[in-house]
Amino acid sequence: MAENKEKIPKYLVRFHGRGGQGAVTAAQLCSMAFDGPATCMPTFGAERMGSPVASFARMSKDYNQVRTNEQVYSPQYSCILDDTLLEDVDCTAGMVPGGYLIVNTCKPYEEIREIIEKNNPPEINVALIDATTIALEYLGRNITNTLILGALVKVAPQIFTLDELITAIADQFNPKIAQKNMDAIKTVPDATKIYPCDDKVKISFEKDYKKEWSHIGLGKLGAAELDKAGVWFTDVIDGGSARVNTGSWGVSYATFHPEYCIQCGNCVFICPDLCIEREFRDNKWQIVGVDEFHCKGCENCVYVCPGKKDKETGEKHKALTMVMKC
Amino acid sequence: MAENKEKIPKYLVRFHGRGGQGAVTAAQLCSMAFDGPATCMPTFGAERMGSPVASFARMSKDYNQVRTNEQVYSPQYSCILDDTLLEDVDCTAGMVPGGYLIVNTCKPYEEIREIIEKNNPPEINVALIDATTIALEYLGRNITNTLILGALVKVAPQIFTLDELITAIADQFNPKIAQKNMDAIKTVPDATKIYPCDDKVKISFEKDYKKEWSHIGLGKLGAAELDKAGVWFTDVIDGGSARVNTGSWGVSYATFHPEYCIQCGNCVFICPDLCIEREFRDNKWQIVGVDEFHCKGCENCVYVCPGKKDKETGEKHKALTMVMKC
Amino acid sequence: MSVQPMNPFFKEIKKPVELTMTGNYAVAGAVSQTDPDVICAFPITPQTQSVEGLSDVVNHGKLKAAFVNVESELAACAFSTAACAAGARTFIATASQGLLLMAECLPMAPGWRVPLTMMISARAFNSPNLSIWNSWEFTLLSGMGWNTIVSENVQETYDAAIIASKISEDSLFPTQFVHDGFIISHSAQKFFAIPDEDVLKYTPRKPRHHINTDKTGTWGGIVTPDYFGEGRLALELEKNKVLPIMDNAFKEFKKMTGRSYHSIETYNLDCSSKTVFLTMGSMCGNILTWMEHNKDVGLIKLRTWRPFPTEQLRKIIEENNIEKIIILEKDDDLSGILPPVGQSVASALFGINVVLRSLIVGLGGRDVTKDEIEYAAKKMKPITDNRGKLYDYLGVRETKDKMWEVRF
Amino acid sequence: MSVQPMNPFFKEIKKPVELTMTGNYAVAGAVSQTDPDVICAFPITPQTQSVEGLSDVVNHGKLKAAFVNVESELAACAFSTAACAAGARTFIATASQGLLLMAECLPMAPGWRVPLTMMISARAFNSPNLSIWNSWEFTLLSGMGWNTIVSENVQETYDAAIIASKISEDSLFPTQFVHDGFIISHSAQKFFAIPDEDVLKYTPRKPRHHINTDKTGTWGGIVTPDYFGEGRLALELEKNKVLPIMDNAFKEFKKMTGRSYHSIETYNLDCSSKTVFLTMGSMCGNILTWMEHNKDVGLIKLRTWRPFPTEQLRKIIEENNIEKIIILEKDDDLSGILPPVGQSVASALFGINVVLRSLIVGLGGRDVTKDEIEYAAKKMKPITDNRGKLYDYLGVRETKDKMWEVRF
């Protein structure tokens, strides 16, 4: 490909999050905050609450640079809303050398580095921020998309400024939510710690680092290998979700306290993931625990649990409560 | 078109009848009775009991002559199952000079000739038979299709013989009906009277007399004249059946006897053509007569009429009875 | 009923026999001979008698099959596809708006490789007006992945019902066989019926993948962008095998009956004008009778409409040095390009030096006569290139008293 | 909901304003500005937010329209066609199997000259597998007689919603406007919104024939073979006027907004290789960004898919001496001939001396990247004739570790 030295820079940002964490909105806020042509899009996976999702923003003062509707394969900035994703997904894939990996985490840098090294990333900078703690304090919920954008502003102020970001937030959210986010975002620059790479590595805003056919899913069955088109026999493909560790998706999971359970069964019926475990004892089905491998932490079971009074204190306790992972 | 003198003859027969009179079956019996390649087809009109229909048979020992699936536009033989059709339809259209018009009628030749002359037919022979009388006697119903074929055998024995026709009838009908038809058909040759044309006119079994574009319906609205495609506004086209003289379709019509009517209304609801006339008298709707312009003679009203005892004789009489037209 | 149309098929047919029946009843007879397990269709003019005829044979007891009534064509297609996927030999039939109502379900059978067999009594669809008569609605939905063969007359549609069943099961793609509504469906013609035993030998039941509880799987389940294209390519690769499978079915049919069929049949291609008509279905008969007196044009008769016999057609045109093709088709599509058959032929012959025009005739049951054929041949004589509009309507009124004049 | 996507359209837009919205929400905004009387659609991914967005605007009170919920796409199409025939400005939207389920109803609106406007978020149909992602299902039903325009990005689909409404009412044919599902429907992009007053001036309500009790008539009633063909020719003659009507709609749109649209748009046709890509929709953006670094090929972007701009395309190819055309299309049809876009182009260009190949890409949401574009351009270089197969699949796996190699 011919290199054009006079090129106007284009900024490519990727967000990794879980369904419900606002990765798509983060990309959209980029597009709004940037002063010039910009597009953004989600990856086109089936989005379920808690499942891994990614989204992209592509920005440049030169419209022709961002006219493409491709997804982003070689971002300069990769922003991770949930550090558990680092284990499941290669969040550094295709990254431009000298770019930034920005992670919401309470873990130390060394631990994060160790995880990402498994994927042999290019030479990149890392920025860490414990956005979850800020979010829980200011927003009351673990929604960290605006905060991770604050960290992006810190490492890449040339894309858009904090003021531009705040204006975008004011446009996008209803006033009450917007105000909370704007208050929280101001704490971000101080809370973001940068771990730079070798400063001889110069970041490029023009070159394309996409590996050829990297979007094709090589390694999965090809046309000549499908048994009968459209029919996936279970001896060829594992069906069902038994092996998918959806329990790793949430920040919390439900735990069971048998002493407060009246065996009403409300939790069994409300759980969207069939995580309430039962056993056939004394001639009837009895609730005995929670399947933590699949519990995504939706809290529905907690809401419907009527609970039971403690015999000693007389206080009412629920038989299901949430436990934070971190 | 190149004339081929060695041509194997092809026989083209057209039947005109009303829905229910068996014109389609007549054509099919031709096809079956003929010893060689043959096809037959109905005109593709919406067939309602009593509405004018036509059907065609095409027969030749040379398959290529009858491979076409066109309708028949220049028959050598035109067979009319119901003489009321002669007024509505040009039954001689496209006929081959020297061909035969075969009519089921009780009218004299002169009257028939006068009717068909209106359409300026070519020089043709006419054969008349009162098939309705024979049908009512042998079959108990006015179904004259097999009888008209008997007349066809009389005027054109070269197409198929009476024996071949009888075999076809035996194949096509259930045994009881077949036997009645076979009995009836034997009386036909004697009952058929032929009125020949100028014997210098030689019938052709090769030439095609179809007038160019005669199947296109010239005289009806064309593409450039339709108001909005698919929408027939009532100021352009007369909607409804008010002007269609369906009363001419049957051999009989219903007539009303007020003295035997108990005003039960059964006839009003059963009539498929809304022919039972009512008036609003003495504060209620009362049955007053029959719309003869539209009555097709189905007799349904007669069947459902409970009738009333005659005051003098004590005998029960129906308020609706059928009157024959001929 | 005094007339018993299905009578010949109530008892075993032991040797070839000549019958006179309408196209629909002949199909009903042929289908009954292939011993289907399930018959499921919703009645619609002009298809109705095919299914009525089958109900007679089932009612009579000769055919042991589930005759399933449903509430619509969409339900008929869904039920039939599922029944066939479960292993049943299944027959379905429709026409016109009924075919359109099946559209949501039509892609599944090819996708899942379900060997369903469907009769279509081709009929106009409702635009601008309702018409119960013949047009080629089936060309509108040609991209669904069904095999499609078209018949000229009653003999061919009787034979096609049997051949289609074999093609479906040999190729594991569903097959439609089409005849012109009313013109063939309601026309009584003489034809030869095949002995029951021969039909059963010609259409043996073969083991195939089907829904069952021993080998479980998901049929047509959701796939991410990682797999969909691969699934389509897999279908395409299998679809490429269908034309040879059809050739073989025709060859075996000839062995059994002596009647010779091909995906493309040609007549009089060494004619002086190097001009040929190209069409399908009942009109081929009309043209062939006309050609008895007009020896200077030829005819290319397409029996196989899908998969389109591209390579065969190219070969025929090139080897015979055909200079001009006059397509006659009973469909149009208001698209500003050639109508459906024209589009397929232009795609197949793109880059070949041949002059092509397409004439839209016989819509909504308008008869196609020697007048149209003669006009088309005459109109084509001075044409020597592919400039201007390549199609027009023929055989319609412009105004009350004026024929529409073909403009190209 | 903390995010209020339709907020900008809750109040009057008084001057041109830059917004960032997804394709679907932008369409909802645009449609609300055209002041429809009736909105009736059944939700289906990826079309859903377009109708949800409109329900927000109706619920908010800014738009006074009947928002009608129905039980299926077939019902939605039937209800919308009838509402529009009764005189209401009517909007409908669908995708994929939803469009197929409408098939039975789709021919009526063109037949009755009902100016319905429909958004399609293009999506694969379910064969062999269910996919909620992008393919071009709409090309499968191109013969229904609807006008169809395709958009590249959010700005274009916002504008198309407004332009389509005008085209429908000026031509009295229903109009579909299409964007690629997810890629545009769910992509947030910057675009300029037009002041409400300007939109209303651009799409004035004009008197038209409609069902009413003062001038009664029969809509789509049965006709015998004496009239059906004449009705189709009448449609064709009116359809021939649509391309100029579209040109006029584009011209007036430019006057209002400065944004210039055409049925066909071209880029870099005087390139050295005389080779052009030809495609529609979002892929045009991908190719144009790639062309920033690859100046030796051109691009023909089809905005108008139906009626197909045949004469314009012929003129462009001939006047620019184009030698090779690489079609990229997100559809296929297992027919053994070119896929749908290829069929249309081959029909339009039949007899023109140009080399043509069609590549099937991006099925079921597979992204189309510079890899496909580069491969196609490279593969085309040695091709100099139209022999052999003219199409293939590109960007799919043959086996686990091997890309399918294009064979032509």
Q: What is the DSSP string of D129-167?
A: SB--S---GGGGGGGG--EEEE-SSHHHHHHHHHHHHHH
Which ranges in chain D are annotated with CATH 3.40.50.920? 264-403
Average pLDDT, chain C: 96
Q: In total, how many domains does chain A have?
A: 2
Which candidate from C20, C293, C371 shows the least CB-CB separation from B213? Answer: C371
Say whether pLDDT at B286 is over 80. Answer: yes
- Rg over alpha carbons for chain B, rounded to the nearest Å, is 23
Q: Do B221 and D231 touch (CB under 8 A)?
A: no
By Cβ distance, the residue of A28, A65, A173 closest to D188 is A28
Chain C residues lying within 8 Å of D140, measured CB to CB = 141, 143-144
Residue C301 tokens, joined: 């008769």
In sequence order, what are the beta bridge partners of A307? none
- The enclosing domain of A272 has a CATH number of 3.30.70.20
Say if A280 falls within a structural domain: yes
- Judge whether B69 lies within some domain: yes
B186 with B266, same domain: the answer is: no
Beta-carbon contacts below 8 Å between C and D: 293
Percent of chain D with pLDDT over 70: 99
As assigned by CATH, the class of the C264-403 domain is alpha beta
Query: What secondary structure letter does DSSP report for C364?
Result: G
A148-194 pLDDT tens trace:
999 999 999 999 999 999 999 998 888 898 999 999 999 999 999 99
- Say whether A232 and C226 touch across the interface (CB within 8 A): no
C-alpha separations of C177 from A303, B8, C93, C119, C155 in Å:
60, 34, 9, 5, 13
Condensed to tens digits (0 to 9), the pLDDT of residues D181-194 reads: 999 999 999 999 99
Provide the percentage of residues in chain C whose pLDDT is more than 90. Answer: 96
Q: How far apart are the first and last CA of chain D?
A: 53
The phi, psi pair for C97, rounded to 5°, reads -60, -25
Question: With contact defined as beta carbons under 8 Å apart, do C27 and C161 qualify?
Answer: yes
Q: What is the pLDDT of residue A46?
A: 59
For residue A203, being part of any structural domain is answered with no
Rounded-to-integer distance, Cα D386 and Cα D354, Å: 8
d(CA B105, CA B83): 6
Question: Using a CB-CB distance cutoff of 8 angstroms, which residues of chain D are in contact with residue A218?
Answer: 397, 400-401, 403
pLDDT of residue D110: 97
**Could you give the angle at the alpha carbon of C42 between the alpha carbons of C39 and C45, nearest 5°?**
120
Touch test A–C: 3 Cβ pairs or more under 8 Å? yes
Interface of D with B in 148-207 (CB under 8 A): 172
Q: Read off the pLDDT of each residue in C190-209 and give the average, rounded to a whole number.
A: 97
For the segment A211-230, what is each residue's pLDDT rounded down to a tens digit?
999 999 999 999 999 888 88
What is the average pLDDT score of chain D? 96
Nearest to B47, CA basis, from B73, B26, B17 = B17
Q: Where residue A48 falls among pLDDT bands split at 50, 70, 90?
A: low
Distance from first CA to last CA of chain A, Å, rounded?
46
pLDDT at D132 over 90: yes
CB contact under 8 A, C231 and A45: no
Structure confidence by residue, pLDDT tens digits, A72-115: 999 999 999 999 899 888 999 999 999 999 999 999 999 999 99
Say if residues C12 and C59 touch (Cβ distance below 8 Å): no
* 8 Å CB contact between B137 and B113: no
CA-to-CA distance for D205 and D229, rounded, in angstroms?
A: 32
Mean pLDDT, chain A, as a whole number?
Answer: 90
Count the neighbouring beta carbons within 10 Å of the beta carbon of residue D68. Answer: 15
Confidence of residue D408 (pLDDT cuts 50, 70, 90): confident
The mean pLDDT value for B279-303 works out to: 92
What letter does residue A90 receive in the DSSP assignment?
-
DSSP assignment of B143-201:
--HHHHHHHHHHH-TTT--HHHHHHHHHHHB-HHHHHHHHHHHTTHHHH-EEE---TT-
pLDDT score of B168 more than 80? yes
DSSP C285-346: HHHHHHHTS-TT-EEEEE-EEES--HHHHHHHHHHTT--EEEEEES---SSSS--HHHHHHH
- Residue A281 inside a domain? The answer is yes
Give residue A232's pLDDT band: very low, low, confident or very high (50, 70, 90).
Answer: confident
Mean pLDDT of C97-109: 98
Its pTM stands at: 0.92
Please tell me whether residues B185 and B312 are part of one structural domain.
no
Whether the predicted pLDDT of B1 surpasses 60? no
Across residues C311-326, what is the average pLDDT?
98
Q: Do B229 and D219 touch (CB under 8 A)?
A: no
Look-up of token digits 């403690």: A310
pLDDT for D2:
56
* Domain of residue B64, CATH code: 3.40.920.10
In this complex, which of A173, A208, A229 lies closest to D2 when CB atoms are compared? A173
pLDDT of residue C1: 42
Q: Which residues of C51-63 are buried (b: 16+ CB within 10 A; e: fewer)?
A: bebbbbbbeeebb
Neighbours of chain D (3+ CB pairs under 8 A): A, B, C
Average pLDDT over residues B9-36: 93
Separation CA D113–CA D111 (nearest Å): 6
D257 closest CA partner among D7, D15, D11, D12? D15
- CA separation for the pair B112, A278 (Å, rounded): 94
Residues A180, A268, single domain; the answer is: no
Confidence of residue D367 (pLDDT cuts 50, 70, 90): very high
Which tokens in the block code for residue A280? Answer: 């056939």
* pLDDT recorded at residue B16: 96
- The widest CA-to-CA distance across chain C, in whole angstroms, is 70
Q: Give the model's confidence band at B77: pLDDT under 50 very low, under 70 low, under 90 confident, else very high.
A: very high
Instruction: Place C408 in a pLDDT band, splitting at 50, 70 and 90.
Output: confident
Q: What is the mean pLDDT of residues C146-159?
A: 98
Chain B residues close to C183, C-beta within 8 Å: 41, 44, 69
At residue D199 the predicted structure's pLDDT band, cuts being 50, 70 and 90, is: very high
- Best of A43, A48, A231 to disrupt the C interface (most C CBs within 10 Å) is A231
Are residues B273 and B135 part of one domain?
no
Do residue A116 and residue A53 come from a single domain?
yes
The verdict on C20 touching B (C-beta cutoff 8 Å) is yes
pLDDT at A3 over 70: no
Q: Does residue A8 fall inside a structural domain?
A: yes
Is D347 in Cβ contact with C347 (below 8 Å)? yes
Mean pLDDT of C146-161: 98
pLDDT tens digits, A238-288: 555 666 777 777 778 899 999 999 999 999 999 988 899 999 999 999 999
> Does the beta-carbon distance from A229 to C238 stay under 8 Å?
yes
pLDDT at A2: 45
Query: What is this model's ipTM?
Result: 0.89
Of D358, D348, D347, D324, give the one whose Cα is nearest residue C345: D347
pLDDT digits (tens, 9 = 90+) for D59-118: 999 999 999 999 999 999 999 999 999 999 999 999 999 999 999 999 999 999 999 999
- pLDDT of D155 over the 70 cut: yes
Region C204-225: mean pLDDT is 90
**Helix D340-348, helix D310-319: angle, nearest 10:** 70
Q: How confident is residue B239, by pLDDT bands cut at 50, 70 and 90?
A: low
Which residues constitute the domain of residue A88?
Answer: 2-195
The DSSP secondary-structure symbol of C104 reads: T
Answer whether residue B32 is part of any domain. yes
Distances (CA, A) of A131 to A44, A108, A128, D349: 26, 14, 9, 60
Contacts of C91 (CB under 8 A, 6+ apart): C31, C34, C36, C38, C39, C40, C41, C54, C80, C117, C118, C119
Architecture of domain C7-256: 3-Layer(aba) Sandwich (3.40)
C294-303 pLDDT tens trace: 999 999 999 9
Closest by CA to B41, choosing from B80, B68, B8, is: B68
The whole-number average pLDDT for the span C105-116 is 97
Please, which pLDDT band fits residue B45 given cuts at 50, 70 and 90?
A: low
pLDDT given for residue B47 in this prediction: 62
* Rounded Cα–Cα distance for residues A10 and A203 (Å): 12
Does the pLDDT of residue A6 top 80, yes or no? no
pLDDT score for D356: 98
Are chains D and B in touch, 3+ Cβ pairs below 8 Å?
A: yes
Q: Mean pLDDT across chain B, nearest whole number?
A: 90
Structural tokens at position A131: 């956005």
Task: Examine the domain organization and report whether B166 and B31 are in the same domain.
Answer: yes
Q: Are residues B170 and B291 in the same domain?
A: no
Based on the domain organization, do B187 and B252 belong to the same domain?
no
